Amino acid sequence: MIEVGRLCLKIAGRESGRYCVVVKKMDENFVMVTGPMELTSVKRRRCNIDHLEPVMETLNIKSDAPDSEILKAYQRANLITKLGLGPRKAKAAKVEKKPVEKKAEPRKEKPPEGKAEKREPKKKPESGKAVKRPAAKKAAKKPASKRAKK
Amino acid sequence: MPRPSLRSRTLRRIKKRIPGGASVTHYLRRKPSPARCAVCGRPLHGVASERAAKMKKMAKSMKVPSRMFGGNLCPSCARERLKEMARKNV
């Protein structure tokens, strides 16, 4: 089942859940494997057969083929869209663009709100001062009355 | 006799020998229970179980294994789930 060009899912380790291609047979237990890195972020490395789950698809590649040839083989087999792999850079670019647009809009709206909020508190301190002033007057009066009593 | 609030067993006790030579009991909050696999229920290795304040300070890689389903499933259950995914997908 596991031969050169076989597409596999990695089952164990940090790369588990990612697709890879068998590039070369090392011995009974080990094979050489790549994603390639750009597509599925699986490094070209030796891998235990127990850590691979073969998938029905195969790629038409020679043994020990470079990553560029494997990418072409992916495109020929139309596997990139079928497996939902897609170029990661494009996805990342889309994600980056959206928040920038969202941020730009609220910035325009926010400043007037902020100003409105700032205006309101300005009025409050005035009222506060108005309250304080009479209190201060009372305070000023009280000692005077006390003095008068004395 | 400790403070009345420390007499309950909600706090865990640790005996410490202080520099003066006397042994003292320190009262600490208990840790949360260890994380368990969502399928088989066995305790997970490599998943930190600390109080929230300590968990906030820790890096993500210190709290959870960087595997798929890390911190949720044990490795053997994760492997079986991935096998199912491989057979369904293509």
Regarding whether B83 and B52 lie in a shared domain, the answer is: yes
Domain C-terminal end among A43, A68, A86: A86
In a domain, residue A1? The reply is: no
Which CATH number characterizes residue A73's domain? 2.30.30.30
In a domain, residue A149? The reply is: yes
Nearest CA distance, B89 vs chain A (angstrom)? 8
Nearest CA distance, B35 vs chain A (angstrom)? 19
User: Could you tell me the residue range of the domain that residue B71 belongs to?
Assistant: 31-90
State yes or no: pLDDT of A145 exceeds 90.
no
Regarding whether B76 and B46 lie in a shared domain, the answer is: yes
For the question of whether the overall pTM of this predicted structure is more than 0.80, the answer is no
pLDDT (0 to 100) of residue A33: 95
State yes or no: pLDDT of B19 exceeds 70.
yes
Nearest by CB to B85, from A8, A9, A12: name it: A9
Q: Which helix (H) or strand (E) holds B21?
A: none
Q: Which helix (H) or strand (E) holds A12?
A: none
Which ipTM did the prediction report? 0.74
**How does DSSP classify residue A61?**
-
Contact A83 B67 (CB under 8 A): no
Regarding whether B48 and B82 lie in a shared domain, the answer is: yes
Q: Which helix (H) or strand (E) holds A21?
A: strand A19-25
Residue A9 near residue A19 (C-beta atoms within 8 A) = yes
Distance of CA A69 to the CA centre of its chain: 30
User: What is the mean predicted confidence (pLDDT) over A104-119?
Assistant: 53
Q: For residue range A68-110, what is the model confidence (pLDDT) as tens digits? A: 999 999 999 888 888 877 655 544 555 555 555 555 555 555 5
- For A22, A82, A107, B30, B78, the CA distances from A2, given in Å and listed in that order, are 7, 21, 56, 50, 21
Residue B16 near residue B24 (C-beta atoms within 8 A) = yes
Q: How confident is the model at residue B60 (pLDDT cuts 50, 70, 90)?
A: very high
Q: For residue range A15-61, what is the model confidence (pLDDT) as tens digits? A: 999 999 999 999 999 999 998 988 888 999 999 999 999 999 899 99
- Tell me chain B's radius of gyration from C-alpha atoms: 20
Regarding whether B52 and B17 lie in a shared domain, the answer is: no
Buried b (16+ CB within 10 A) or exposed e, A51-80: bbbbbebbbebeeebebeebeebbeeeebe
Regarding whether B36 and B13 lie in a shared domain, the answer is: no
pLDDT (0 to 100) of residue A138: 52
- For A41, B23, B36, B38, the CA distances from B48, given in Å and listed in that order, are 27, 30, 11, 16
Nearest CA distance, B53 vs chain A (angstrom)? 27
A111: which 2 tokens? 């400043």
Regarding whether A116 and A81 lie in a shared domain, the answer is: no
Cα A44 to Cα B13: distance, rounded to the nearest angstrom: 52
pLDDT (0 to 100) of residue B39: 95
Cα A104 to Cα A16: distance, rounded to the nearest angstrom: 38
Contact B86 A53 (CB under 8 A): yes
Domains: count for chain A: 2
